[in-house]
Structure 1
Amino acid sequence: MPPDSAAGFRSRFSVERMLRIHERLRDGDAVNCTQLAREMEVSRKTIQRDIDHMRDRLGLPLEYDRAAHSYAYTAPVEAFPTVQMSEGDAVALFVAERALEPLRGTPLFDRLRATFDKLTANLKGTVDITADDHDAVSFRHFGEGRTNAAAFDALQKARDQHREVTFNYRKPGAESATEERRVRPYHLTHRDNLWYLVAYDCARAALRTFALPRMSEVNLTRTRFELPADFDPSAFFSSALGVVEGKGDFAIHIRFAATVAHRIEERDWHESQRLERRRDGSVDLHLRLSSLVEIERWVLGWGDQAEVLAPTELRNQLAQTTAAMAARYN
């Protein structure tokens, strides 16, 4: 991220913090830097800078009460001072709002949407914000997964409080049979258009990935756990095409026909990918994965425009699958 973009990103979140501080002060709550820092998960110095900015740059009637060890407004303040934004800032804000769609149906979506409403309510002056601007950008994913809002809320709470959870889980392919799981929630991720939980399975003593739509009766227990300091979600998924982790180490080599080469080149499919354009216009894609489950399905989606050259195991799997498909359609 360029330095100017990073600064803009940070400034938007400082505005959000200041709006929250303003609401607390307006409602007559005692505002303490230490308490606010804990609630907003930032440093005490960051909160102090926000308050100093509100008082010294925005001209808000803020004073520190030494006896109460807190800040308060010395005069009524109904509206937060106008936030000036450029056209580019406004577009970025609305794009970010539309990008929240994967969270729709979860309590987190409602909270974030309310925050955006508070921010946009104060955007006047340099840019006119209208309802039509909301329709300028949209996000749509084919096969978007259904959100299990109840499970998402419970798992997020369990993750924040470091509490084990139990739930009934339906394995893929099982029509109605479920089994109870007890896990330690580590991470929630939205991948391949579906929400997943990465958790430590207590009975299996190993990390597992669970799809939220397959969960039911999610309950928080009183048992607490410590999140391992070495757990890294990025590293956990580094050798997976999507969410399926394996124990193998496969060097994938796929050749795509010239007719679809540009479609392969215009996307980042995996962090390990390496592309080689050939003289005939075709392109070779090289990946390093720990499982062949997802890559087989993906290659099948390209039909006769893709040929797996390695590994042999994947070629054999595709040969069997396509033979079975041909037999069915014949």
Structure 2
Amino acid sequence: MDKLHRQWLMLTQIPAAPRKIDCATMEEILREAGYTVSRRTIQRDLMKLAESKVFPLVYDDSSTPYGWSWAREGALFNIPSMGPHTALTFLLVDRYLAGMLPPSTRASLQPYVANADRVLDRLSGTDLRTWPEKVRVAPRNFQLQPPEFREDVLEAVFEAVLRERKLALRYRRRGDNTGREYPEVNPLGLVFVDNLIYLVCTVGSHDTPLQFLLHRMESATMLPIGATIPAGFTLKGYLDKGEFRYPTGEGTIRLKARFDREEAVYLFETRFPGELKLEETEDGMVLLEAEVADSRQLRRWLMGFGDGVEVLEPETLRDDFMEMAKNLRRMYSSRRQQ
């Protein structure tokens, strides 16, 4: 039974061509699953499985490292067969979550996505077949075009995060015309912010996490060395401390603001974080009171309402908005005079 399970696990790790997996990588995967076998045994087992003609496996020895793949034209071998609900899930994952998956995972999913499409095609006219065309995600805010990413950089970084391996990077910092070399980077996780992807990492022997934008990476190479993870670090804990919210230093404030009712109508549909009071006033405005972290995100959100919001408290935040209003008046007045 152990041999059967081990061979089945091996089959699940083989990617579709043109990608391939070598015996050294397969040996590592099996070891992590509790199986200690030699590369020679792995190669012998895969050759027997391929010779059986049941599994459409191909061995590529045209370039190193040599490796195994599922044949491009081979039918997807899947037990149990894919049902319509599973097929629908694959299609929606491919549409909305593919960008968050390692490239190797995305590639391995493609035969399943193609099979999922065929499964639902056979259900033409049914509710599940038409569901993907009945759901869409619509952004509330104005969307900028995503930056261009190098595919080789994406693959190296995602795989390094997945396998907890060190990276060697060439990275162009903001304001620099050329990239700088970072020979030893420890990847800790990826954070997706709108159309941007940040690598949270440490550099060299330093423990302080940094943030590198993937589209500014000119090159990335995964190293055969395990990454050094700071003791107690978790990506969730890092974010919970306020990273990517860009706190202003004021900490938690008690926000009190008046909104134009038409501008703030959706506040009654989605609860504001830390909300204490939300009510319409006699003059037709909407009063919001909440305890919330003072951050650049909060200020930009408030600024997005333009003259449709008045900050009442805290006094320091009100003063900042008053100063901004004066600057805007001065800016527009001076240009009109010109």
TM-score normalised to structure 1 length? 0.63
* Mapped pair 1:120 → 2:130: no
Residues 84-123 of structure 1: CA distance to partner in whole angstroms, max 9, x if unpaired?
534x55444332221036459x835852651543541662
Native 8 Å contact 2:260 2:308 kept in 1:
yes
Instruction: Describe the shift of the 1:230–1:247 C-alpha distance in structure 2 as closer, same or farther (beyond 3 A).
Output: farther
Structure 1 unaligned residues grouped into runs of 5+? 1-17, 46-64
Matching residue of 1:111: 107
The residue identity in structure 2 corresponding to 1:21 is L
Native 8 Å contact 1:258 1:283 kept in 2:
no
Instruction: Describe the shift of the 1:187–1:147 C-alpha distance in structure 2 as closer, same or farther (beyond 3 A).
Output: farther
Native 8 Å contact 2:172 2:216 kept in 1:
yes
The residue identity in structure 1 corresponding to 2:252 is F
The structural deviation recorded for 1:328 is 1.6
Where do 1:67-86 residues align within 5 Å?
72=49, 76-77=53-54, 79=75, 80=77, 83-86=81-84
1:41 and 1:257 mapped to 2: Cα distance? 62
Where do 1:208-227 residues align within 5 Å?
208-220=210-222, 224-227=226-229
Matching residue of 1:57: none
Instruction: Describe the shift of the 1:158–1:74 C-alpha distance in structure 2 as closer, same or farther (beyond 3 A).
Output: closer
Q: 1:21 aligns with which of 11, 17, 21?
A: 11
Alpha-carbon RMSD:
4.9
Native 8 Å contact 2:98 2:106 kept in 1:
no
Residues 23-68 of structure 1: CA distance to partner in whole angstroms, max 9, x if unpaired?
95999x9xx9xx97964998569xxxxxxxxxxxxxxxxxxx9xx7
Native 8 Å contact 2:275 2:290 kept in 1:
yes
Instruction: Describe the shift of the 1:157–1:91 C-alpha distance in structure 2 as closer, same or farther (beyond 3 A).
Output: closer
The residue identity in structure 2 corresponding to 1:123 is V
* Mapped pair 1:236 → 2:238: yes
Matching residue of 2:63: none
2:271 and 2:280 mapped to 1: Cα distance? 22
Where do 1:130-141 residues align within 5 Å?
135-139=133-137, 141=139
Native 8 Å contact 2:87 2:113 kept in 1:
no
Matching residue of 1:297: 300
The structural deviation recorded for 1:155 is 1.9
Q: 1:185 aligns with which of 187, 198, 210?
A: 187
* Mapped pair 1:170 → 2:166: no
Where do 1:22-37 residues align within 5 Å?
none
Percent identity reads 16
| Aligned positions, number | 285
- Matched position secondary structure for 2:113: helix
Instruction: Describe the shift of the 1:138–1:20 C-alpha distance in structure 2 as closer, same or farther (beyond 3 A).
Output: farther
1:180 and 1:241 mapped to 2: Cα distance? 25
The residue identity in structure 2 corresponding to 1:117 is V
Larger radius of gyration: 2
Matching residue of 1:282: 286
Structure 2 unaligned residues grouped into runs of 5+? 1-7, 36-40, 56-74, 334-338
